[in-house]
Amino acid sequence: MRRILAIASLAFAIKVFLASLTAWSYEFIFLAKAASIKFEETKLNAAPWVKLENMLYKLWLTLPINHPSLDRWLIRLEVFPESFEGFLLIFLLKLPILILDVLCGVLIYKIAKVFDESKALTALMVWLLNPYVLLTAEMIGSNDLVLVFLVLLSIWLILKGKNFLSCFPLMIGTAFKFYSILATPILAIYMFKKGLKKNIMFLTLNVIVGVFLYSFWLSKAGLNFEYALVEYSPLTFQASEMFFSQYTARVGLSVASATAYAFLIFNYWKADKAEALIIKGLLGFLLAYFAFFNWWPQYLLILASFLALDYAENKKYFYAVLILAFLIELVYFEFATEQSLFFIYNYAGWMRKASLALIKFKSNIASEVVLGSLLRSIYAVLSLIYALKILFNFSLIKLKNPFCEI
């Protein structure tokens, strides 16, 4: 146990260090600017996360230390952080993410313990040691761990028999990040199979309230609900999906495959395996959806949490899915700029050379058109195979061996 605690402590220390060092993702710069020097000038100060970050920024200002100007970083894009005070500011702004990371790990442990206590600690360590989580949460500065925590909390409450209470975290998650709604179909199917029809109605009502609250704070922040739904949600953003063809661009493969998977679960999932449905079934559903999704890296954090829960049984798929996801993002996503490499300022000459090399690699048309397409094809096939494996293990559908009939 001491060894486990030592490894977990080291992992958390590394998260704290890299979180405090990485200040150069587009998302984090935008957030830091909205929460500090531009807070009074923009309607985005109505957004809950921006309000929280502004409170932490003001806390930093009250500390008896020097307070370097943020204009150099946020406006002129010059070196930052370069002093203890700068590192401390980045740490404070990312402190909620670090806390959420640990809380997600605790819930993953508790959920895994319900099914198999011997695998609970493994699931926890897989989450804490997952470099994909470190990259997309702490280093990018993404707040998507909020919805991961709330979805996991909802599932844990269901497993504890508190079906009524489980609807509230999902409502809050939908109000904060609209794509929390992805968990709703599987939870509704679970409740239907358990005969909890009143809970289905309450779940639906809570999701509707969540959508209303999401729309409300968007309007307070000066954003249009319909525009935000189209441009910022992985459920409806047209450019985010691979399509059947250029002539049917409104029929996305992500939604189509996830809908088909939910239909198969509803009709064929074994009645005596209902509890497994909200873990294994939801994992398969997410795999089917994200198989064709041209995601931002942080959107896969919700998938990574369920992969951790399934790690003990499907290690090879765990590594294959996340490694392929990273390679795809290396081709499509900006992990390097003229100022930074993996969101760390180019303090040394070798870092600048590495950044320019990665930028050159990305700008090569063959990287995106050939390598990117090949990697995405492999990822889509692997994800669907993994999702179908889960379905066949827990459903009434059986594959026949054609060689046995010869």
Q: How do residues 45-64 score in pLDDT, each as one tens digit?
A: 777 888 899 999 999 999 99
| 218 pLDDT tier (thresholds 50, 70, 90) | confident
For tokens 């922040």, the residue is 221
The arithmetic mean of pLDDT across residues 176-202, rounded, is 88
Query: What single letter denotes the amino acid at residue 390?
Result: I
Give CA–CA dist 172/214, Å, rounded: 9
Best CA proximity match to 333, nearest among 289, 286, 300: 300
* pLDDT tens readout for residues 3-27: 888 988 999 999 999 999 999 998 8
Using an 8 Å Cβ cutoff, are 345 and 339 in contact?
yes
Here the tokens at position 359 are 């930028």
Q: Are 286 and 391 in contact (CB under 8 A)?
A: no
Domain ranges of the chain: 1-142, 144-232, 234-406
Least confident stretch, 89-103, 105-119, 164-178, 307-321 = 164-178
Report the candidate in 100, 32, 14 with the shortest Cα–Cα distance to residue 298: 100
Segments in 233-341 forming alpha helices (H): 253-268, 274-276, 282-290, 301-309, 315-332
Q: Which two tokens stand for residue 268?
A: 């064929």
